Structures are given as C-alpha cells and as structure tokens.
C-alpha cells in the first residue's frame, strides 16, 4: 500500500508530526505551533517528495490530508502507546480551544475519547458550540460520555436535555433538566 511506503520513509519526529496534524480538520502551521510544532513548515517541506500522496490543497486554499491517508494515520495512531496518544491529542485539543475553535476542539476530544477535555469543553463552551450550529458535534460528545447525569456535569445535562427535546423525546428531556 502506498500509505505504508510513504509513512515508512518518515523519521520518528515526522511520524509524530503527522499523527498530530491528522487530529486537526486541516494542516495549519499556526495551530500546530500552538501544540509545540514550531518547526511545522520545515517538517512539511522535508516531506515534500511525498506530499502529493499525503495532502492536497482544499478549495479555500488550506492544506488537508487525503481521506485515505488520514484514515491510515488514525489507524496507526491507535497502535501507539496510550500516554503518547493522550499527550498528542490533549495538545491538539488545547491548541484548538486556545484559538477559539471550540467545536473543532470538542470534535477532536470526542474522537480521541478524552473524557476530561469533553467535560471541560461542554461545561465552558457547550452552549456557544450549540449556538454556532454544531449540534452533531455536541450530540457525538454527549454520546461519547454517556453516563448518569451526576457524572457529566450540569451544562452537559442541560445540553442533553435540549437535544432530547429537539428530537421530540420530551419525557427523557425533562429528566436531564
């Protein structure tokens, strides 16, 4: 497979960079710098010969991973040490949140199963995310931390109640409020 060959040619640092970059919706040097990759442009330039197999320019001028390569990176990332995965994922979530990209941060935290980050983002920015129209992101996050009302916090409970009411489940919605 092409992805195996491309990934296999990368150094350990480049692989860690790719894992980190794949946690973001697009490859943005500024976001990566916030996560500790101050040399992101240099790392990307060092991989220029394989760039066409890894990423492409999007319609808005950004850089995004090819879907298949992102999927490959996601699978490889899951085989890494749990502490490494947690560190890389928390850095990505914190950099997105620090930039005010709360929905993207919540989405990344949900995909990586970072319950503490999910809870914090829902408590601090849940209604803001909801008001921005990211209902699916909120729903996915709530589903990921599916537990008793006491364990998810008051804001998350209210958000869950709102979503249940919106779906017409008024009997369960009332219980969450």
For residue range 23-54, list pLDDT tens digits in order. Answer: 999 999 999 999 999 999 999 999 999 999 99
pLDDT at 175 over 80: no
Q: Tokens standing for 63?
A: 């850089």
What percentage of the chain exceeds 70 in pLDDT?
89
Measured distance between the N- and C-terminal CA atoms of the chain, rounded to whole angstroms: 51
Range name among 83-92, 105-114, 161-170 with the lowest pLDDT average: 161-170
Residue written as tokens 């980190």? 20
Mean pLDDT of 144-154: 63
> Could you tell me where the DSSP H helices lie in the chain?
2-8, 12-21, 29-34, 40-46, 51-54, 67-78, 82-98, 102-111, 115-131, 135-144, 149-152, 154-166, 170-176
Which residues in 87-104 are b (16+ Cβ under 10 Å) and which e?
ebbbbbbbbbbeeebbbb
Backbone angles phi, psi at 56, to 5 degrees: -145, 165
C-alpha pair distances (Å), 140 with each of 61, 68, 134:
28, 23, 10
For residue range 63-87, list pLDDT tens digits in order. Answer: 999 999 999 999 999 999 999 999 9
Confidence of residue 150 (pLDDT cuts 50, 70, 90): very low
pLDDT value of position 157:
75
| Separation CA 64–CA 34 (nearest Å) | 18
Burial (CB count within 10 angstroms: exposed 0-12, middle 13-18, buried 19+), residue 33: middle
- CA-wise closest residue to 25 among 63, 71, 68: 63
pTM to 2 decimal places: 0.86
């Amino acid at each position: 497979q092409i992805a195996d060959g491309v990934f296999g040619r990368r150094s350990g640092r480049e692989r860690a960079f790719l894992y980190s970059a794949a946690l973001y919706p697009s490859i943005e040097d500024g976001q990566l710098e916030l996560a500790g990759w101050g040399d992101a442009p240099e790392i990307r330039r060092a991989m220029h010969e394989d760039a066409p197999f890894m990423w492409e320019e999007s319609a808005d001028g950004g850089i995004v991973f090819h879907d298949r390569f992102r999927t490959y990176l996601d699978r490889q990332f899951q085989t890494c040490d749990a502490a490494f995965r947690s560190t890389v994922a928390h850095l990505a979530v914190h950099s997105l949140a620090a930039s005010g990209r709360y929905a993207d941060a919540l989405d990344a935290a949900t995909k990586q199963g970072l319950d503490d980050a999910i809870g914090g983002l829902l408590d601090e920015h849940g209604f803001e995310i909801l008001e921005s129209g990211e209902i699916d992101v909120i729903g996915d996050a709530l589903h990921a931390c599916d537990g008793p009302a006491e364990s998810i916090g008051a804001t998350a409970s209210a958000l869950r109640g709102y979503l249940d009411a919106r779906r017409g489940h008024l009997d369960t919605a009332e219980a969450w409020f």
